[in-house]
Amino acid sequence: MIETPNKLLQAHECEALVITCMDFRFVAATYAFIRDELHIPTFDLFAIPGAAKGIAEKNQYVLHVPTLAKALHRIGSIILVNHERCGAYGISDPKQELEAHNRDLRKAKSILQNVFPDTPVQLFFAQIGDREVTYLAVE
């Protein structure tokens, strides 16, 4: 049994939709980043390989999820988190990899802002350190 506040279980709205890679190496770190550094305690979570990649490639299922989150939970913002050494990208050169992620993150933001012009979209790229993950804001 996992104790969960009744107030949370009765809620119908949350602050954000987080779209991140499914990669298990980042699950705990990304949750902590959203909660503790962005100060967003409630969010819908959509974890898919490559995160922004599916939106940038206009995958219809992926594009449907933000619409659902908006309709069902009235999300106030969308947060996209891509990460270094992502198998969905499979790019070994770090510079080329960063360029590909930044390109897809920005393209995804543009696509989302066309559909949801009043919903802020934040972009992050998670970099792997020796013993930590650093979340860089992408403008």
Interface residues toward Zn ion, by CB under 5 A = 21, 23, 86, 88
Side-by-side strand order, sheet with 16-20: 43-47, 16-20, 77-83, 121-128, 133-137
Q: How far is the CB of 97 from Zn ion (least distance, A)?
A: 11
**CB-wise, 21 or 78, nearer to Zn ion?**
21
**Selection from 62, 53, 39, 59 nearest residue 81 by Cα:** 53
Which is closer to Zn ion, CB of 90 or CB of 120? 90
Nearest approach, Cβ of residue 87 and Zn ion (Å): 6
Q: What are phi and psi of 36, to 5 degrees?
A: -95, -30
Q: In the complex, what is the shortest distance from the CB of residue 85 to Zn ion, in angstroms, rounded to a whole number?
A: 8
